[in-house]
Amino acid sequence: MNIDGLESFLSVVSNKSISKASKALHITQPTLSTRIRKLEEELDFVLLKRSWDGIELTEEGYFFLPYAIELLGELQDASFALTGDNKISYQLLSSITAGKDELRIGINIWLAPVFNHIIIPYMQEHFPHIPFKFITRPTNVLKKLLEYGSIQFSIHYENKAKTPFLCEPLLQDELVFLCHKDDVTILDGKLANSVKLDKKLIVFEHAALTNNLDKISSLLRLVQAKDYQMVDDVQNMLAFVEGGHGFTVLPRSILYHISEQRMSNIVILPIDDLNYRASVALEYRENPRFQEPISGLTEELKRFVQVMYKEKELSE
């Protein structure tokens, strides 16, 4: 990602003017414009447009803005932690990174509550001498971390991005309705009945799931909702559904994000006229040092999916 372009984009949004933004960054206006144009070319959509009131965000620009702020903020946080008066000590940094003796397990943020309660006790019981660490990131980041050798094992939603590493299917995560208990009769397990609900379709926009955006986009075209509500946080989404103000369609693994107290008003309902599933895969590098724990984890997770995960689904 073009960091100079991100800074230039955010400066224009903040100052609402290319001339003011260029002065704030101490660069010329042509340089600023070139940076933003290169960023837009990289993203393949336009971020800003001119109007009588000056510079305005496009719809894509509004959508991209929080991502740009978050990305630049994370880079600044990392720099802050490694430099200046707040620099992490060498000893602490060494213990955090742990090096070659640590098994680093990547897991999609959405899937972490589904599998971490299986991984932790398994590693503690069978490989207590091997330190391990979870890296929770979206699928595309995990695949890149595998490529760079920063993690040795990954559990993620599969997508079109291919890697040369060993990959095994783990779970077909079925898409289901998440609705208020009073809406079950109206929906009757059919996507076509969603138009009968005078409620918003809650669109969960989060990096953990957007790697499967093609399926989500196809789904939105099928659901004839009267209105939409975008959210990027699980708890906000659950608040809408729990209060009877909306419904949504998500992978069944949402079950692991809902507390028992909230399940009194929220129902997970299978969809009879929809055959969409999000594929969850295990992917790992060949590594003699961690071959035994990786093989053991693979079998343990497959056993969980075949027995415990299925039983939990059926019990709800």
Q: Are 178 and 316 in contact (CB under 8 A)?
A: no
Which CATH superfamily groups domain 171-278? Answer: Periplasmic binding protein-like II (3.40.190.10)
Output the CA angle 210-256-154, nearest 5 degrees: 55
pLDDT of residue 39: 92
- In angstroms, the CA 75 to CA 82 distance is 11
- Structure confidence by residue, pLDDT tens digits, 4-38: 999 999 999 988 889 999 999 999 999 999 999 99
The domain locations on the chain are 3-85, 99-167+281-315, 171-278
Q: Is the pLDDT of residue 316 over 50?
A: no
- Helical pair 3-15 and 18-25, crossing angle rounded to 10 deg: 130
Rounded Cα gap, residues 306 and 75, in angstroms: 40
What is the pLDDT averaged over residues 249-271?
87
Residue position matching structure tokens 């060949």: 286
Q: pLDDT confidence of 210, banded at 50, 70, 90? A: low
Dist. CA 24–CA 42, nearest whole Å? 24
Residue 306: band (very low, low, confident or very high) from pLDDT cuts 50, 70, 90:
confident
Does the pTM surpass 0.85? The reply is: no
- The domain 3-85 having CATH identifier 3.40.50.2300: the answer here is no
Specify the fold of 99-167+281-315: D-Maltodextrin-Binding Protein; domain 2 (3.40.190)
pLDDT for residue 168: 92
171-278 matches 99-167+281-315 in CATH topology? yes
Ramachandran category for residue 54: left, alpha or beta (phi over 0 → left; psi -120 to 50 → alpha):
left
Given a cut of 70, whether residue 141 has pLDDT beyond it is yes
